[in-house]
Structures are given as C-alpha cells and as structure tokens.
Structure 1
Amino acid sequence: MKKQTIICVDDEEIILEAIQEQLESTFGDEYNIETSDSGEDALEFFKELLDEGQQVPVIISDYIMPGMKGDELLKQIHELSPESLKILLTGQASIEGISNAINNAKLYRFISKPWDKNDLVLTVKQAVKSFLQEIKIRKQNTELLELNASLEEQVIERTEELRKANAAKDKFFSIIAHDLKSPFNALLGLSEAMLENWQEIPDDNKIEFVQDINKASKSTYNLLQNLLEWSRSQTGKVKVEASEFSPLEIVNDNLEVLKQHADSKKITIANELNPEVKCFADKNMISTVFRNLISNAIKFTHPNGTIKITSFAKNSHYEFCVTDNGIGMDEATKNSLFNLSSKTQRFGTSHESGTGLGLHLCKEFVENNKGKLTVISKENEGSTFCFTLPIAH
C-alpha cells in the first residue's frame, strides 16, 4: 500500500528543506513528505495525487508567494479535497488572508514564522489524527447507511412476502370454509329429510340416503384430516421423525382404507412396489402422501380404470410413482396445483369433491423428508405423481 503524502509549499528553498527535515524525522516512516516552491506547482501535484487515488492528510503552505498566494491555494485544494487539513505557515499573512483561508478553506491552524519545531510536529500529528478519524467516521457512516438501506430493503421485501403469504392463506381458508359448507349442507339436508319423512321413504331410497350421508361424511372427514395436518405443519408442530421402513407396508395399509372407494368404481390398483425397498423418512408423513396420491388417483379415474404404483432406484433415492389413466390435466391446471392463492378444486369422475389441500400437504411432507414431488399429466390421458425419498442404508 502506497504511503500517503504531506505537502509543504514555500517559495524559499531553505524553508522547505527545514520543514521537510523536521517532518521526515517524525513522519517519514509512514508518510511521504513532498515539497513545492509555488502554489501553481503544488496545486498540479495535488491533482496528480488525487488522480492516482492517493489521499493527502495535510498540506502546509506559506502565505506570501509569487503568483498564487497561500490562502487561494488552500481554498482551491479545499474544493478538491475538503477532508485534507490545511495549515498556514507564514510571518507576513494579513488578517484578510487568514480570514479567507478560515472561511473558504476551513483552515486547521495558522503558525507564525519562525516556528517552534515541537509545535509544528505536534500540530501536524493532531492534524493527521483528525484526518484519519474523519476518514474512519465517514467510512463507518457509509457502512451504516448501506446497512440501513439493506435492512430497509429486506424489511420491505419480507413485509411484501408476508403480505402475499397472508393474502394467499386468507384466500385459501376462505375456499376451505366454502368447501366445508357443501358437505355439511348435504348432511343436514339428507338427515332432515330422513327425519321428517322416514315413514314415507321407500326402503331402497333409505339405503341411498344412508349411502349419500356416508359419502359426504367421508369426504368431510378427509378434508378436515388434511386441513388439521396442514395447519400443524404450518405452525411447526409437526416434526420429522425419520426411521427405516418398508413403503410396501404403508401402501398396503392405505389400500385397505381406500378399497371401498376403488371397488365402488371398479378400479384396478396394481401395487408393484418391491418388498425389499427400504426408505429412511418419517413413516407417518409418507403414509399421508401415499394416501392422498392414491385417493386422488381413484377420484379422477373413470370407472373400470387402472392405477399403478411403482418404485425405481434413482441415485441415492427411491422414486415412487402413482399413475392413473383418468381425466388428466391441462398445463394451466397442472401449473396451479401448488399455488395457495389458486382455487384448483375439480370434481372427480363420480362427482367427488376436493380442494387440492392434500397435494399441498404431500409437497410439504415430501420436501420435509429431503425429497421432491413432480407431476406429469396430459388431459384425457391420465396423470403420474412421483416423489423421491432417501434410501435406507
């Protein structure tokens, strides 16, 4: 790193040599002590130093010089570098000249000739110290301003993120509230109709009423179950408790739960998972993922359709896929599946209702277990939902 420079200006060579010698004995190790015999030369030299990116802590100038006087020199230097400290060293300065230097160049100090060496050295020491402190303060102020600007920007960004998140959740819960009304209205309507007209309703119709109530109850229960699990995940109350388990076992358990729905639509489900496959993840979360994906596949598959559950080794993970030959999705529907602010409710092939909440839950649970959920779908040709899980070692 280059030394900073202290400049001394006087038209008398003997004066310059004396000042240079006295200052170099004290400051020579840390600063270059440069001299100039005129205000014009000193100003040009000063500009050259600034162009090179150097700082000039102190400039000492005589007042009476041929051409440019000391007060005018210091004034122009102040305009170029306000932080440089200016000292007027002369025995013939007028009150007007000193006032000009004070008012227009912020003169640091006036020293009369002949000067005392100790006084000169102490004055320059204090000037250098003030210069360095001012530079440090300016740097800290700049850093603080930048930090404040950065923090303000982060606050604005975070506030906007929270606003969008809250707006999305508000909209999402309004959708949930709306969708909860439908099954409850159905339950209330059917049960009231049965209570008021029990004797007049034929037995065959009674069975249909009970089936409809059962169907609405299951739909509402599944919705509430997913909503509860999703709410717990949002508040951080659901923690990942990973362990080694067989995906085949939890898929078989869920198929038993969903068997009645699949059988009612005469849908064939082929579970092709390898019994030797072992994963390391939260078993309960992954059970929820499989249940939702298989339930959705049944919902959007036509009667007499097929569903296939497969697994493949993929690097350090296993990839599990639930594939159906149902109604599929267009690009717009597929792209909005995981957008909280979008209403992606679609009715199943037997007019089953849903909100898409289960898919949000699947995505979060898979990602919580270091996996990734992907979707491949084509309208009227079916859908494939795949997710990865770490292999158990």
Structure 2
Amino acid sequence: MEFNTRHILVVDDVINNLKITAHFLKEAGYRISLAQNGTEAMRILEIEIPDLILLDIMMPGEDGIELCKRIKKVDYLHEIPIIFLTAKNQTEDLVEGFNAGGVDYISKPYKHEEFLIRVKNHCELAFAKKKIVEMSKTRDKLYSIIAHDIRSPFASIIQSLDLISADLIDKNSQTFIDLLDDLKGRSNATYSLLSNLLEWTKFQSDKINIKAQQTNIHQVVTECITLLKGNAKMKNIEISQYTSNIDVAFCDEVMIHAVIRNLLSNAIKFTPENGKISIRSAHQNSTIAISVKDTGIGIAQEIIDKIFNKDEHFYSLGTNNEQGTGLGLLMVKDFVTRNLGSLSVSSTLGVGTEIILTLPVKH
C-alpha cells in the first residue's frame, strides 16, 4: 500500500495540536483534512470518506467520544477506524472510548516514531479489512452465479441427453434436430459463462500486473468478430467493422480482448434476427473510442445500473432465449477501469444500444 494515497482526518479543538499532528503526517506523506469540532468533521465526512480518523477526546461541547458514537451510527462511515488522541490515560476514559467504537489511543505529547507506526498499522489493517470484505462479496457473487446460472443449464443438458440415450426421440425428426440445436446453444452459453468467471476471478487481485502495451485495436476487433461470427450467423445478424489498422491503444491486450468480446457477444445476444451491429473506432486527442452499436431490444436505465453493480445479481434472456447473467458487463467495467479507460452506455428500448469504450493511446 502506498501511504501517500491514504487520507486521514484529524479532529482537535486546539489549533497548535492540529499543526503538530498535520506536520507529522505530511512529513510521512499522508493526505490530511483538519477539523476543530464535530460539525466541521461531519461536513468533511459528507464530502470524502477518509481511511483513518484521529480524534481528540477532550473537546468543548460535543467531546470525542460522543462524536465517535455519531460517526459509528452512519452506515457508510461505520467501518472507518478511529484512534483517540488524549492527554489523559485514565482507564475509565479509554474503556468508554473503546466501547464507543475506537480502535486505539495515542497519548499527548506524541512520541514521533510511535505515533507514525500506530497510524501506519491501522491504515494497513483498515485496507486489509476492506479487501477481505470485497473478496467476500466476490465469492458470494460467484456462488450465486454458479448456483443459478451454471447448475440450471447443466441440469437441462443432462435431461436432454437422457432423452436421447433412452431413444425416446426419433433421431430423424425435426424435434431431434431442434433438441441438438438447443443443446449446442446451452453448451456454448455455459462455456462462455465459465470462461468469463475464470477471467474475472483471475484479475480480482490487486497484485495482478496490468501488462499494458501498444495494442492494435483493429486486430483485436477483427479477432473478436471472427470468434463470434457463428453466433451472429445463426440469427442472420450483420456485423460491420469500421476500424483502421493504425488504431492503437495503450492497454492490456488480454483484458481488452475480453472486453470487446463480451460487448460484441451481448450485442448479438440482445439483437433480434436480421438485425445489425457496427463496431467503430475514432481518435479523440490522447484517447481512442471504440463503439459497439446494435439494433437490439435496448436496456432500461434501472437495468443498466444493476448489471454494472457488483452487489447485484442480475440475469436476463436474449432475443432467442440465450442465457445471460450480467457478469460479462460487470467484468467489462472492472477491466476497463484497470486499464485507465472509461465506459458509457446509451440505450433506447426497442431501438438499440451503443456502448462506447475509451482507452488511452499512450502510456
């Protein structure tokens, strides 16, 4: 963890104490906010959530312990670690502070090295706790998808195979042909979902290095179209490519390949038969924009909000009842963010959807 990115809020009614504390923290490379009372502190917390709060116990009016209780009652502030600053070390004060939600205390006057070590340790603990919570949410998301979206199609596939193996369907009938087509579609959809799951989980760790390099976007788009042209042909969907061989972005090629593949796959999935999809690229100053536009069924705004939210589990069927979980777009957003890019969605129900991916051209 780079500590110059850590943000610490210091609350103390004595201006000289604020100056001393601010000096120590700035010297160590922390970013700080200062407040002299609870009102100022809460105003800062409404704007930005710090990684740690250093809170003086003895303040006129609302003291530090009461302010700590107030902070802990706010859901989105509850997990911020609070260290009490005190000139007193009576046991009853410290016990009351811990009961209010404090995690540690530092006695005044500060011992410089001890002060910084305690701050550093609690920043690390808070960061580790946050990552554990995120990992837990990711695990729950994966379990939910596995339980619903993988088990269900496999059960259907097994049931269909049982019918075939028991010779309950005439192998020369249209019903048999339709059943094989359905099996192929479900198998492909399940394989695609498993591939997305594996790619997404692989890149969840912050320790994964982004192998950014000059990437030929035209080539990546061409490869994605080649991979998915069979899916488009089954629905008689026309895919038009308007990219140039000179189109280059500075990004992780594997990640962006997965991004464009998923955007194109979704466009095919939610575009009716005889529809059209276009993929364009255009340079905009120091970035390149890649647009995937379809004549599909469109997406309502509330649905867009759900499929880009990792705390939501949203799934939907394509125009030919293709399976969809929303995981593809969730992964897309994650990969784009890691490559310092941006994503925008515009959609009209019954008309179509356009998703624009923007990436840096240079390092």
TM-score by length of 2: 0.63
Shift in Å, 1:147 = 8.6
Shift in Å, 1:272 = 0.8
User: 311, 321, 330: which one pairs with 2:300?
Assistant: 330
Matches within 5 A, 1:74-113: none
Question: Which one-letter code corresponds to 1:336 in the other structure?
Answer: K
How many residues in Structure 1 have an aligned counterpart in Structure 2? 258
Question: Which one-letter code corresponds to 2:217 in the other structure?
Answer: P
In the alignment, which residue of structure 1 is the partner of 2:349?
Answer: 379
What secondary structure sits across from 2:266 in the alignment? Answer: helix
- Confirm or deny that 1:189 pairs with 2:159: yes
- Confirm or deny that 1:310 pairs with 2:280: yes
Shift in Å, 1:177 = 2.5
- Tell me if structure 2 keeps the 8 A contact 1:338–1:360: yes
- Tell me if structure 2 keeps the 8 A contact 1:176–1:355: no
Question: Which one-letter code corresponds to 1:360 in the other structure?
Answer: L
Deviations 1:116-157 (A, max 9, x none): xxxxxxxxxxxxxxxxxxxxx842179978996997698568
Identity of aligned residues (%): 33
Question: Which one-letter code corresponds to 2:341 in the other structure?
Answer: G
Distance, in Å, in 1 between the alignment partners of 2:359 and 2:156 is 39
- Tell me if structure 2 keeps the 8 A contact 1:328–1:377: yes
Matches within 5 A, 1:1-393: 138-140=108-110, 159=129, 162-163=132-133, 166-167=136-137, 169-197=139-167, 200-235=170-205, 238-391=208-361
Distance 1:376 1:288, change over 3 A: same
Shift in Å, 1:249 = 1.6
TM-score by length of 1: 0.59
- Tell me if structure 1 keeps the 8 A contact 2:170–2:176: no
Shift in Å, 1:204 = 2.8
Query: Which consecutive residues of structure 1, in runs of 5 or more, have no partner in the other structure?
Result: 1-52, 54-136
What secondary structure sits across from 2:203 in the alignment? Answer: helix
Distance, in Å, in 1 between the alignment partners of 2:160 and 2:212 is 44
Shift in Å, 1:232 = 0.6
Distance, in Å, in 2 between the alignment partners of 1:318 and 1:377 is 21
Question: Which one-letter code corresponds to 1:241 in the other structure?
Answer: K
Deviations 1:249-300 (A, max 9, x none): 2212211221121111111111111222122222222111111000000111
Query: Which consecutive residues of structure 2, in runs of 5 or more, have no partner in the other structure?
Result: 1-15, 17-106
- Tell me if structure 1 keeps the 8 A contact 2:286–2:362: no
Question: Which one-letter code corresponds to 2:307 in the other structure?
Answer: L
- Tell me if structure 2 keeps the 8 A contact 1:172–1:341: no
- Tell me if structure 1 keeps the 8 A contact 2:300–2:348: yes
- Tell me if structure 1 keeps the 8 A contact 2:217–2:249: yes
Distance, in Å, in 2 between the alignment partners of 1:235 and 1:158 is 12
Distance, in Å, in 2 between the alignment partners of 1:235 and 1:161 is 9
Shift in Å, 1:346 = 1.1
- Tell me if structure 1 keeps the 8 A contact 2:291–2:354: yes
Deviations 1:80-117 (A, max 9, x none): xxxxxxxxxxxxxxxxxxxxxxxxxxxxxxxxxxxxxx
Distance 1:236 1:167, change over 3 A: closer
Deviations 1:214-255 (A, max 9, x none): 111101110010100111101357532233232122212211
Deviations 1:149-182 (A, max 9, x none): 9976985686467436524541442233311012
Question: Which one-letter code corresponds to 2:145 in the other structure?
Answer: I
Question: Which one-letter code corresponds to 2:292 in the other structure?
Answer: V
Distance, in Å, in 2 between the alignment partners of 1:198 and 1:284 is 45
Q: Give RMSD over aligned pairs.
A: 2.9
What secondary structure sits across from 1:202 in the alignment? Answer: coil
Question: Which one-letter code corresponds to 2:240 in the other structure?
Answer: A
Distance, in Å, in 2 between the alignment partners of 1:156 and 1:367 is 23
What secondary structure sits across from 2:271 in the alignment? Answer: coil
Question: Which one-letter code corresponds to 1:365 in the other structure?
Answer: F
Distance, in Å, in 2 between the alignment partners of 1:279 and 1:241 is 13
Deviations 1:336-390 (A, max 9, x none): 2221121221111111111111112212222222211222222222211111122
Distance, in Å, in 1 between the alignment partners of 2:215 and 2:349 is 35
